[in-house]
Amino acid sequence: MIAAMSHQEHKRASPTNIRCYVLTVSDTRTAESDTGGRLLRELLTGDGHEVVGHAIVPDEAETLRNAISTQLDNEQLQAVITTGGTGISRRDGTYEVVSDLLDKRIDGFGELFRALSFEEIGPSAMLSRACAGTARSKILISIPGSQNAVRLGMTRLVLPELGHLVREVTR
């Protein structure tokens, strides 16, 4: 009988350099004002991952769907991370687009993000529709656009598990 690997063994067997693409979803951000996207890229590279590219796309469903799909088709990439457009305002549509593209949802990501966010900002955390899952054998993660949300999501959830997520989706 083959013994099952522990989650620590899975992590040790996981890649440590993940090739990522970062998409900022915003109708108002520019390269100069995209502090959340810039921080996300800095956190990824600081943790030893490679940011293959990044872009800012408006919060328009078809434009966002095309931008994400293009990156999911890029065989060099292992993960696509979006930031922004996760709220409940009329213009926020990232959740719907990302959810529609997912093959398998990682429900725990959004649940944990909101729980951690609740510790910092209280009940307003319920307004976040952060989500993650697999899409075309890649990891697809969507987090809010504020610097605080990016820092929280990346340092507490994404960076500690990114290699493990990629290992699992490619097995």
Give the pLDDT confidence score for residue 102 in this predicted structure.
98
- Average pLDDT, rounded, for the chain: 95
pLDDT at residue 40 in the model? 98
Q: What is the pTM of this model?
A: 0.94
Q: Is residue 37 part of a domain?
A: yes
- Structural domain boundaries, residue 85: 18-169
pLDDT for the residue 9: 81
Residue 1 lies in a domain: no
How do residues 113-135 score in pLDDT, each as one tens digit? 999 999 999 999 999 999 999 99
CATH of the domain at 141: 3.40.980.10
Given 3-state DSSP classes, what are the helix, strand and coil percentages for the chain, each rounded to the nearest 5? 50, 20, 35
- Residue 59 inside a domain? The answer is yes
pLDDT confidence band for 2 (50 / 70 / 90): low
Q: Convert the pLDDT of each residue in 81-115 to its tens digit.
A: 999 999 999 999 999 999 999 999 999 999 999 99
Distances in whole angstroms, Cα of residue 115 to Cα of each of 22, 57, 108, 143, 160: 24, 28, 10, 14, 17
- Tell whether the model's pLDDT for residue 52 goes beyond 60: yes
Position 143 pLDDT exceeds 60:
yes
Task: Provide the domain count of the chain.
Answer: 1
Around Cβ 18, how many Cβ atoms within 10 Å?
24
Q: For residue 138, is it within any domain?
A: yes
Q: Which of 80, 15, 72 is nearest to 54 (CA)?
A: 80
Amino acid code (one letter) for 35:
T
* Tokens (6 digits) for 147: 């610097």
Kindly state whether residue 82 falls inside one of the protein's structural domains.
yes
Identify whether 133 is part of a domain: yes
- Residue 39 belongs to a domain: yes
Instruction: Give the other-Cβ count within 10 Å of 81's Cβ.
Output: 27
**What DSSP element (H or E) covers 64?**
helix 61-72
What's the CA gap between 10 and 51, in Å, rounded?
Answer: 24
Indicate whether 125 belongs to any domain. yes
